Structure 1
Amino acid sequence: MESAAAHSLPIDAYLLTNDQADRLDAARRTLVARCMNRFAVAYRPPDPATPFRPGTRTQYRYGVTDPAAAARYGFAPPGSPRTPPPPPAAPPSLSAEATVALTGTDDPGVKPGSAAAKGGQRVNGHVVPPGGCLGEARAALRSDNAEAGGDAPVADRINSESFERSQRDPRVVGVFARWAQCMTSRGFPSYADPLKASGDAAWRTPEPSAQERETAAADARCKKEHNVVGVWFAVDAAYQRREIERNGKELAAVKAELAARQELAGAALGTLPPRP
Structure 2
Amino acid sequence: MLPLALTGLLALSACQLAGHDDAAGDARRLNTMEALPLYAYLPDPSSDGGKSIGKAQWILAKQCMVRLGFSGFAMLNGAAVESTYPVRRGTLVSRGTIGDESPYGVDDPDRAAEHGYHDRGQEESSQPQEWPADQYVALTGRFDSGDSHQAHGHPIPEGGCLGQATRTIYGPSPRTTKVNGLKLSGTYSPAVELWYESHKEARKDPAWKKADRAWSACMKEEGFRYPEPDKASLDSAWYRSDRPSGKEKKTAAADARCKLDTDYIGTVHAIEARAQKAVIGKHTKELGAMRAADERAVRNARTIIDKESKESKESKES
Instruction: Indicate whether the TM-score tops 0.5.
Output: yes
Render the CA deviation track for 1:105-135: whole Å, top value 9, x for unaligned. x9x89996xxxx9x9x997xxxx89657445
Separation of aligned partners in 2, 1:149 and 1:23: 21
Indicate if the aligned counterparts of 2:173 and 2:186 stay in contact, CA closer than 8 A.
Answer: no
- Aligned to 1:19, the other structure's residue is in SS state coil
Pairwise CA distance, 1:238: 0.6
Separation of aligned partners in 2, 1:32 and 1:191: 48
Q: 1:14-29 to 2 correspondence within 5 Å?
A: 14-19=41-46, 21-29=50-58
When you count strand as a share of all residues, which structure comes out higher? 2
Render the CA deviation track for 1:190-236: whole Å, top value 9, x for unaligned. 21000011111111122100110011011011101111111111111
Separation of aligned partners in 2, 1:103 and 1:165: 35
Aligned to 1:60: 102
Separation of aligned partners in 2, 1:111 and 1:237: 48
CA, structure 1 residues 180+136, in 2 after alignment: closer, same or farther (shift >3 Å)?
closer
Aligned to 2:27: 2
Separation of aligned partners in 2, 1:63 and 1:111: 44
Aligned to 1:91: 132
Pairwise CA distance, 1:39: 6.7
Render the CA deviation track for 1:167-195: whole Å, top value 9, x for unaligned. 221111111111111111122x2210000
Separation of aligned partners in 1, 2:185 and 2:58: 13
Aligned to 1:196: 231
Render the CA deviation track for 1:65-110: whole Å, top value 9, x for unaligned. 11111111111224359xxxxx97452546xxxx88x789x9x899
- Unaligned stretches of 5+ residues in structure 1: 82-86, 272-276
Which one is further off, 210-219 or 26-35? Answer: 26-35
Letter in 1 for 2:232: A
CA, structure 1 residues 18+90, in 2 after alignment: closer, same or farther (shift >3 Å)?
closer
Equivalent of residue 63 in structure 2, options 26, 29, 34: 34
Indicate if the aligned counterparts of 1:5 and 1:59 stay in contact, CA closer than 8 A.
Answer: no
Aligned to 1:84: none
Separation of aligned partners in 1, 2:63 and 2:189: 30
Indicate if the aligned counterparts of 1:66 and 1:217 stay in contact, CA closer than 8 A.
Answer: yes
Pairwise CA distance, 1:137: 1.8
Bigger RCO of structures 1 and 2 (CA < 8 A, at least 6 apart): 1
Indicate if the aligned counterparts of 1:9 and 1:237 stay in contact, CA closer than 8 A.
Answer: yes
CA, structure 1 residues 41+75, in 2 after alignment: closer, same or farther (shift >3 Å)?
closer
Equivalent of residue 260 in structure 1, options 292, 296, 300: 296
Indicate if the aligned counterparts of 2:170 and 2:187 stay in contact, CA closer than 8 A.
Answer: no
Indicate if the aligned counterparts of 1:16 and 1:150 stay in contact, CA closer than 8 A.
Answer: no
- Aligned to 1:49, the other structure's residue is in SS state strand
Q: Percent identity?
A: 30
CA, structure 1 residues 122+73, in 2 after alignment: closer, same or farther (shift >3 Å)?
closer
Indicate if the aligned counterparts of 1:64 and 1:70 stay in contact, CA closer than 8 A.
Answer: yes
Aligned to 2:272: 236
Pairwise CA distance, 1:266: 2.0
Separation of aligned partners in 2, 1:111 and 1:180: 54
Letter in 2 for 1:142: Y
Indicate if the aligned counterparts of 1:72 and 1:213 stay in contact, CA closer than 8 A.
Answer: yes
Separation of aligned partners in 1, 2:295 and 2:191: 15
Question: Is the counterpart of residue 225 in structure 1 residue 225 in structure 2?
Answer: no
Separation of aligned partners in 1, 2:262 and 2:234: 21
